[in-house]
Amino acid sequence: MHEMGITAEILKAVLEVCEKDGAIKLNTVRATVGDLTEVVPDSLQFAWEVLTPGTFAEGAVLEITETVGRSECIECGTQFEHDRYDRHCTNPACGSFATKVIGGDELRVDAIDIDLDESRTGEDAVATGE
């Protein structure tokens, strides 16, 4: 299950940001996973539940937004949704296989929600987006 390794890297990156920003609690990690990545969101959730106990991320929620495959036809410019396997243009007048992926291949952390020490003020607060 490659999702375990992916989740471990997400966790590592998130924990580095938490430490750098002086977080006192990690609440939520928001991520986007595209259907074309072949990453299974339920497996990411499972891996998160396995890897976070005993870490600073214990109790934090992993929220995953899933995106569908989207492509654009190079021949006619039609944009369309598709699954992993069938990327031919859906325009009945075209049907070309010359297409380029424009969405659904994302795998990223979009945001993390952390609590900071309320005693932090001034430049520290501005730098962390408080």
Return the SS3 of 127. helix
Which two three-digit tokens encode residue 127? 């730098």
Is residue 114 within 8 Å of 23, Cβ to Cβ?
yes
CA distances from 15 to 26, 29, 50 (A): 9, 11, 16
pLDDT at 117: 83
pLDDT at 33: 97
The span from the CA of 99 to the CA of 28, in Å, is 36
Residues of the chain with pLDDT under 50: 122-130
pLDDT at 124: 46
pLDDT at 35: 95
pLDDT at 91: 96
pLDDT at 1: 62
pTM: 0.81
Q: 2-68+103-117 — its CATH code?
A: 3.30.2320.50
Name beta bridge partners: 71. Answer: 80, 101
The span from the CA of 83 to the CA of 17, in Å, is 34
Dihedral angle computed from the Cα positions of residues 2, 27, 15 and 118, in that order, rounded to the nearest 10 degrees: 170
Strands 79-82, 69-73: parallel, antiparallel or unpaired by DSSP? antiparallel
The span from the CA of 32 to the CA of 26, in Å, is 18
